[in-house]
């Protein structure tokens, strides 16, 4: 089936085909390799405001045509996540200079705002190496990526895969399973493990240092073992910590707004500052928005909202064969993979900044 799909794509539109096949079929890189450029990978260090330095991997093709910054999502592996490494190599072998920085907040499953500064610094490093630069963010890294991109005129591309528009909507989805768009309401049972990822994510907006430490320890224990007893730590949490715990463990839609109000103004401001919906109209260059229909971490309706905010510049590409940011096994979803073939080609052409993407 994979061979047949490749032949169909090659006959229809050779540009970007090998990348779209690589996206759809993990493990296809070895037999695509003879068709593509070789790539050199080197570790670089990027200065960030405040005297910090950001470590990143630079994937360098022999003749770069453009530069692309990839911002990873929540992942302990960070820039070395196997799927991200595979994508970076595929893009570089198509002639794209790819920079993948290690964003410490996202490695720690946390959003604090520093991730935006990291993305801006990495964009500067990319622009120093290529006159034509784009950015693509994945999952929770898409928010910081879009916010950073909005402050940088002249980008040739801004893209998201499995990204979000508003953190409040993500919180609602992760705790109640509800999400909606354009009057259509959707529901699915929330995954309990994702509650503790959400707790880790929200630690970054907590102002009280003691509560931050307690919530961080609770999140670490629950992520390692969701059945771990953290009640002694929870009992010692202050008002801010108790509000965050109430939000994470809530299951009722009508309770979300009052709990968010209880977080306090600083936390609410932080949620707004890390939600990229308002930044979308300021983005320059080509805009590509994609999402897996079966995403259990961030609902696909968030990408539909990002596309709405683009004022007609982009349509969200919803992929039936993808869950969060990776494809389902080919033999388990042959029909979905077949229907996604041209959608993936659109994404591939857009990432390579060639005709065929919208």
- Do 76 and 120 belong to one domain? yes
Q: What pLDDT, in 10s, does the model give residues 48-70?
A: 988 899 999 999 999 999 999 99
- Quickly state the pLDDT bin for 26 (edges 50, 70, 90): low
Angle at alpha carbon of residue 329, lines to 160 and 75, rounded to 5°: 45
Task: Compare 348 and 218 and report the one with higher pLDDT.
Answer: 218
Q: How high is the pLDDT of residue 255?
A: 97
Q: How high is the pLDDT of residue 24?
A: 53
Distances (CA, A) of 27 to 23, 30, 153, 198, 308: 10, 7, 37, 31, 35
Q: How high is the pLDDT of residue 354?
A: 60
Which among 237, 272, 307 is the end of a domain? 272
- CATH code of the domain in which 11 resides: 3.40.50.1820
- Do 144 and 11 belong to one domain? yes
Q: What pLDDT, in 10s, does the model give residues 236-283?
A: 999 999 999 999 999 999 999 999 998 889 999 999 999 999 999 999
Any domain includes 70: yes
Any domain includes 237: yes
What does pLDDT average to over the chain? 87
Provide the whole-model pTM. Answer: 0.87
pLDDT of 198 above 90: yes
Distances (CA, A) of 144 to 24, 105, 172, 225, 228: 26, 11, 20, 29, 32
Q: Which two tokens stand for residue 57?
A: 């991997």
Q: How high is the pLDDT of residue 118?
A: 97
Q: How high is the pLDDT of residue 1?
A: 38
Q: Say which range, 4-8, 85-89, 279-283, 307-311, has the weakest mean pLDDT.
A: 4-8
- Rounded distance, CA 353 to CA 37, Å? 17
Task: Compare 27 and 119 and report the one with higher pLDDT.
Answer: 119
Q: Which residue has the tokens 């919208």?
A: 358
Q: How high is the pLDDT of residue 94?
A: 86
Which among 272, 305, 328 is the end of a domain? 272
- Do 283 and 228 belong to one domain? no
Q: How high is the pLDDT of residue 67?
A: 97
């Amino acid at each position: 089936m994979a061979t047949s799909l490749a032949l169909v794509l090659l006959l229809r539109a050779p540009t970007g085909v090998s990348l779209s096949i690589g996206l759809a079929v993990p493990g296809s890189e070895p037999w695509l390799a003879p068709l593509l450029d070789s790539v050199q990978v080197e570790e670089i260090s990027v200065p960030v405001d405040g005297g910090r330095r950001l470590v990143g991997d630079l994937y360098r093709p022999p003749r770069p045509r453009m530069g692309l910054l990839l911002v990873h999502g929540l992942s302990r592996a960070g820039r070395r996540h196997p799927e991200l490494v595979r994508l970076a190599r595929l893009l570089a072998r198509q002639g794209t200079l790819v920079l993948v920085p290690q964003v410490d907040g996202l490695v720690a499953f946390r959003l604090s705002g520093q991730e935006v500064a990291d993305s801006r610094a990495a964009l500067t490093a990319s622009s120093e190496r290529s006159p034509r630069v784009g950015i693509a963010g994945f999952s929770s890294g898409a928010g910081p990526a879009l916010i950073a991109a909005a402050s940088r005129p002249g980008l040739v591309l801004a893209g998201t895969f499995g990204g979000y528009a508003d953190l409040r909507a993500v919180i609602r989805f992760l705790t109640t399973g509800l999400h909606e768009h354009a009057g259509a309401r959707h529901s699915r049972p929330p995954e309990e493990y994702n509650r503790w990822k959400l707790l880790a994510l929200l630690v970054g907006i907590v102002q009280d240092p003691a509560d931050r430490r307690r919530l961080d320890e609770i999140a670490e224990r629950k992520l390692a073992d969701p059945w771990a007893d953290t009640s002694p730590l929870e009992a010692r949490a202050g008002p801010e910590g108790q509000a965050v715990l109430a939000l994470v463990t809530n299951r009722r839609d009508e309770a979300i707004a009052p709990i968010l109000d209880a977080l306090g103004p600083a936390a609410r401001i932080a949620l707004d500052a890390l939600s990229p919906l308002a930044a979308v109209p300021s983005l320059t260059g080509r805009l590509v928005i994609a999402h897996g229909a079966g995403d259990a971490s961030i609902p696909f309706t968030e990408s539909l909202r990002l596309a709405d905010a683009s004022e007609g510049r982009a349509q969200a590409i919803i992929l039936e064969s993808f869950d969060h940011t990776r494809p389902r096994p080919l033999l388990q979803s042959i029909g979905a993979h077949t229907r996604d073939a041209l959608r993936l080609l659109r994404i591939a052409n857009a990432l390579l900044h060639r005709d065929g993407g919208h």
